């Protein structure tokens, strides 16, 4: 049973460019959340997708957008990249049904470097 | 506004002894508290959680204690093993959204 998979694992962009990160949730999970982890910090919630709609959003600008597909996979898009967007982007999935112990299952992340 | 704080950036413990990691929070709406462990180049891995209505949860070598009046939780690892060396994040959850602390790097000394 594959866990949460993310691609690409590493990428380098320049300021002003756009980036798309991809996530496939764990089998049986229908909710996907995205987190940004800057160096030396804990992960910060970006947004959550359920039934192909953004259900919750953290304190991130509109340059950050996302999408969820019918197979529950998800994309994170960041436009007009800034140096401060350099971070590890983590995708987490949640199983369907009641939110039991609060556990999220994380992928290994996509390391974005903006030059 | 930092809702979850881990005031110790690092901790070193002798192998076989007890490791105690601490976490403070300000948001009374958290319904669960969780501990995650993170190795370099990997995503965070769930370790243990506790409901906000409990004061203790134990799973093998790991025990989490919650003191709601003090808005404080701690993770005890007994006995500590070299494989426990990692960064540990505590987090509170509200509406399936996790709010993380900044992490504590635990080093187990053989």
Model pLDDT for residues A63-106, shown as the tens digit of each residue = 999 999 999 999 999 999 999 999 999 999 987 665 566 688 99
Helix locations, A49-109, DSSP H: none
Of residues A1 and A113, more confidence is placed in A113
Cβ pair B93, B33 in contact under 8 A: yes
Mean pLDDT of B64-83: 97
Q: Which residues on neighbouring strands pair with residue B71, listed in sequence order?
A: none
Q: Is the peptide bond before A68 cis (omega within 30 degrees of 0)?
A: no
Q: How far is CA A92 from CA A27, A109, B85, B108, in A?
A: 12, 9, 23, 28
Provide the number of CB pairs (under 8 Å) joining chain A to chain B.
65
- Chain A residue whose CA is closest to B94: A102
Cβ pair B19, B105 in contact under 8 A: no
Residue A98 confidence (pLDDT) = 56
Residue A103 confidence (pLDDT) = 80
Q: Enter the DSSP assignment of A16.
A: T
Alpha carbons within 13 A on the beta-carbon side of B12: 2
Q: Enter the DSSP assignment of A61.
A: -
Q: Which residue has the tokens 């049904």?
A: A97
Q: What is the C-alpha to C-alpha distance for residues A87 and B63, in angstroms, rounded to an integer?
A: 31
Query: Residues A18-63: pLDDT tens digits?
Result: 999 999 999 988 899 999 999 989 999 999 999 899 998 999 999 9
Cβ pair B109, B16 in contact under 8 A: no
Could you tell me whether strands A87-95 and A105-106 are parallel, antiparallel, or unpaired per DSSP bridges? antiparallel
What pLDDT band is residue A2 in, cutting at 50, 70 and 90? confident
Q: What is the C-alpha to C-alpha distance for residues B94 and B54, in angstroms, rounded to an integer?
A: 16
Residue A100 confidence (pLDDT) = 60
- Mutant choice from B96, B99, B102, B104 vs A, greatest count of A C-beta within 10 A: B96
A104–B46: do the CB atoms touch at under 8 Å?
yes
Q: Which residues of B touch A98 (CB under 8 A)?
A: none
Residue A17 confidence (pLDDT) = 98
Q: Which residues of B touch A104 (CB under 8 A)?
A: 46, 96, 98
Query: Residues B67-76: pLDDT tens digits?
Result: 999 999 999 9
Residue A97 confidence (pLDDT) = 61
Residue B41 pLDDT more than 60?
Answer: yes
When the pLDDT of each residue in chain B is averaged and rounded to a whole number, the result is 95
In chain A, count H helices and then E strands. 0, 11
* A51 in B contact zone (CB under 8 Å): no
B95–A45: do the CB atoms touch at under 8 Å?
no
Residue B42 confidence (pLDDT) = 87
Alpha carbons within 13 A on the beta-carbon side of B63: 9
Residue B3 confidence (pLDDT) = 93
Mean pLDDT of B86-108: 93
């Amino acid at each position: 049973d594959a866990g949460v998979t993310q691609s690409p694992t590493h990428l380098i962009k320049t300021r002003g460019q756009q980036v798309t990160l991809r996530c496939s949730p764990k089998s049986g999970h229908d909710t996907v959340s995205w987190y940004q982890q800057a160096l030396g910090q804990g992960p910060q919630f970006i947004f959550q997708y359920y039934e192909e709609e953004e259900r919750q959003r953290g304190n991130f600008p509109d340059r950050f957008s996302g999408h969820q597909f019918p197979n529950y996979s998800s994309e994170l898009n960041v436009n007009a990249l800034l140096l401060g967007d350099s971070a590890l982007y983590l995708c987490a999935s949640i199983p369907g049904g009641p939110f039991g112990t609060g556990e999220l299952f994380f992928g290994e992340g996509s390391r974005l470097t903006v030059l | 506004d930092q809702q979850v704080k881990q005031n110790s950036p690092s901790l070193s413990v002798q192998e076989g002894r007890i490791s105690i990691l601490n976490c403070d929070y300000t948001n009374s709406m958290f319904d669960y508290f969780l501990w995650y462990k993170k190795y370099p180049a990997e995503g965070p891995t769930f370790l243990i959680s506790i409901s906000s209505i409990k004061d203790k949860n134990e799973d093998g070598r790991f025990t989490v204690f919650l003191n709601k009046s003090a808005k404080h939780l701690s993770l005890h690892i007994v006995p500590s093993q070299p494989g426990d060396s990692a960064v540990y994040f505590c987090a509170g959850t509200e509406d399936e959204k996790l709010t993380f602390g900044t992490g504590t790097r635990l080093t187990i000394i053989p």
